[in-house]
């Protein structure tokens, strides 16, 4: 099948690498200023500004049978117009909701799914009022274009609030959230096919540094039946709401076994990369199976599995010499704290996996130094 992916980053790359094995062919839709190194050699790249009509764009993409996305910040109008030519999965509506924190949290609330207490604000007065209601510390996040902790403010006191309120006229719509005193962060990755076949990966336990995912471990330890049931219910409500097709990723806060949704991603997710090497059907393959209406495959690994991100650095040879990690390199230039690759590993014992992840973290990011 010909599949067009909107976006040219590492998720598009890993989708295409998985899909080539299944006999699919890919084309990629790029924003005018988007880097395309990750997908070089994997299929033609089409620039969105070079085609006036959706007919012309559809032709340029090679008349795909399915259009999918590797990111949520894409034009909904464009997806809607492409959906008159072929299947678009996940749907334009799922993308529209997930690209805006205000819309996303409002939907979660309407589906009776717990989130942090939140208020959408657009001016200084409503910002002040919202922070008054949720108290300090308060998380303030832009509704759109925020990821990996970007476009976020953690307000600790009224001085910080005053400073942010002064900037308000130049800022876009924001969500103000009460701080959740969670014990840990989890994520759930699920896939649903066109025919409605659904699979779920085990809950992953995720560690972040400076707002960026550093490590994931599966299955998360000490998940009670009630907590698992809660996670399953959350996923089912969302999948049913959209008649969702593809992989959906759900980031969760775990507070003594009670879950709240922090964020949704209508796509494959960094916390699911472990699945590439753990003897299961990877999240990339399952996304492709789901959108091409094939039954998704096994999601339960036989061993404990982990992943550590390479943030703004390579893994030196000494690390790779140990031979127990699989390197995934995105072919991007190394800058700042950019995600440029990751290492996957497995172990028959949880403690062994943890120790190895900790050792890798210490070697890659010594002394807890800023990333
Ligand atoms: P986000 O961009 O929403 O995923 O937030 C980045 C990170 O900030 C999360 O992974 C959490 O560690 C932290 N965070 C975000 N929102 C909250 C909240 N309401 N309460 C506590 N921690 C939060």
**Quick one: 353 and 311 in the same domain?**
yes
Return the ligand 1 atom nearest residue 152 CA. 2
pLDDT of residue 149: 62
**Quick one: 299 and 245 in the same domain?**
yes
pTM value surpassing 0.85: yes
Look at residues 44, 73, 88 and tell me which one is the last residue of a structural domain.
88
**Quick one: 223 and 351 in the same domain?**
yes
Q: Is 357 domain-assigned?
A: yes
Pairing of strands 212-218, 204-209: antiparallel
Q: Which two tokens stand for residue 2?
A: 């010909």
**Cα 121 to averaged position of ligand 1 atoms, centre (Å):** 18
- Interval 210-252: pLDDT, tens: 889 999 999 999 999 999 999 999 999 999 999 999 999 999 9
Task: Tell me the CATH number at 155.
Answer: 3.30.1490.20
Q: Is 97 domain-assigned?
A: no
**Quick one: 130 and 11 in the same domain?**
no
**Quick one: 360 and 214 in the same domain?**
yes
**Quick one: 160 and 124 in the same domain?**
yes
Note down the domain range covering 84. 2-88
Return the ligand 1 atom nearest residue 116 CA. 19
User: 253: closest CA among 183, 323, 352?
Assistant: 183
**Quick one: 208 and 331 in the same domain?**
yes
Q: Is 13 domain-assigned?
A: yes
Task: Tell me the CATH number at 295.
Answer: 3.30.470.20
**Quick one: 209 and 297 in the same domain?**
yes
The owner of tokens 């995600």 is 339
**Quick one: 129 and 26 in the same domain?**
no
**Cα 211 to averaged position of ligand 1 atoms, centre (Å):** 7
Name the residue with the closest Cα to ligand 1, atom 11: 211
Calpha distance 158→360 (Å, rounded): 40
Q: Is 32 left (phi over 0), alpha (psi -120 to 50) or beta?
A: alpha
Report how many domains make up the chain. 3
Look at residues 156, 178, 200 and tell me which one is the last residue of a structural domain.
178
- Interval 51-67: pLDDT, tens: 889 999 999 999 999 99
Alpha-carbon torsion (246, 247, 251, 255), positive or negative? positive
**Quick one: 350 and 211 in the same domain?**
yes
Alpha-carbon torsion (362, 217, 246, 94), positive or negative? negative
Q: Is the CB of 262 under 6 A from ligand 1?
A: yes
Q: Is 56 domain-assigned?
A: yes
**Quick one: 147 and 262 in the same domain?**
no
Name the residue with the closest Cα to ligand 1, atom 1: 149
Q: How far apart are the first and last CA of the chain?
A: 40
**Cα 204 to averaged position of ligand 1 atoms, centre (Å):** 16
Q: Is the CB of 62 under 6 A from ligand 1?
A: no
Name the residue with the closest Cα to ligand 1, atom 17: 179
**Cα 85 to averaged position of ligand 1 atoms, centre (Å):** 38
Q: For the chain, what percent of residues have pLDDT higher than 70?
A: 98
Return the ligand 1 atom nearest residue 178 CA. 19
User: 360: closest CA among 332, 324, 336?
Assistant: 324
**Quick one: 163 and 195 in the same domain?**
no
Mutate to test the pocket of ligand 1, among 140, 149, 175 (most ligand atoms within 8 A of CB): 149
- CA distances 345 to 53, 70, 113, 190, 333, Å, are 46, 24, 33, 21, 24
The mean pLDDT values, 10 residues at a time, for the chain of 371 residues are 98 98 98 96 96 93 98 96 98 98 98 98 94 97 77 94 90 94 98 98 95 96 98 98 98 97 98 98 98 98 98 89 93 94 98 96 80 56
pLDDT of residue 145: 79
Q: Is the CB of 179 under 6 A from ligand 1?
A: yes
Task: Tell me the CATH number at 16.
Answer: 3.40.50.20
């Amino acid at each position: 099948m010909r599949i067009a992916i909107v976006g040219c980053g590492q998720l598009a790359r890993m989708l295409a690498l998985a899909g080539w094995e299944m006999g699919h062919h890919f084309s990629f839709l790029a924003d005018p200023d988007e880097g395309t190194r990750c997908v070089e050699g994997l299929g033609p790249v089409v620039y969105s500004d070079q085609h006036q009509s959706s007919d012309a764009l559809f032709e340029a993409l090679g008349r795909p049978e399915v259009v999918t996305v590797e990111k949520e910040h894409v034009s909904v109008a464009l997806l809607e117009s492409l959906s008159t030519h072929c299947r678009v999965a996940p749907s334009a509506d799922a993308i529209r909701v997930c690209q805006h924190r205000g819309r996303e949290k409002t939907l979660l609330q309407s589906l009776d799914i717990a989130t942090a207490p939140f208020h959408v604000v657009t001016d200084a007065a409503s910002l002040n009022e919202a922070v008054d209601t949720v108290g300090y510390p308060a998380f303030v996040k832009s509704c759109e274009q925020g990821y990996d902790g970007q476009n976020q403010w953690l307000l600790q006191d009224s001085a910080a609030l005053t400073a942010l309120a002064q900037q308000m006229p130049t800022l876009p719509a924001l969500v103000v959230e009460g701080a959740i005193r969670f014990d840990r962060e989890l994520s759930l990755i699920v896939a649903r096919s066109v025919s409605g076949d659904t699979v779920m990966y085990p809950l992953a336990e995720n560690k972040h540094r400076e707002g960026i995912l550093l490590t994931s471990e599966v299955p998360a330890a000490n998940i009670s039946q009630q907590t698992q049931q809660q996670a399953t219910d959350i996923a089912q409500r969302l999948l049913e709401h959209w008649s969702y097709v593809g992989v959906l990723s759900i980031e969760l806060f775990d507070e003594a076994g009670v879950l709240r949704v922090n964020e949704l991603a209508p796509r494959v997710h960094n916390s699911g990369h472990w699945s590439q090497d753990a003897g299961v059907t990877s999240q990339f393959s399952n996304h492709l199976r789901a959108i091409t209406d094939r039954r998704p495959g096994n999601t339960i690994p036989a061993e404990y599995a982990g992943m550590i991100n390479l943030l703004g650095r390579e893994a030196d040879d000494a690390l790779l010499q140990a031979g127990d990690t699989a390197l995934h390199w995105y072919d991007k230039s190394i800058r700042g704290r950019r995600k440029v690759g990751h290492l996957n590993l497995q172990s028959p014992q949880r403690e062994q996996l943890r120790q190895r992840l900790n050792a890798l973290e210490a070697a890659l990011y010594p002394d807890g130094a800023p990333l």
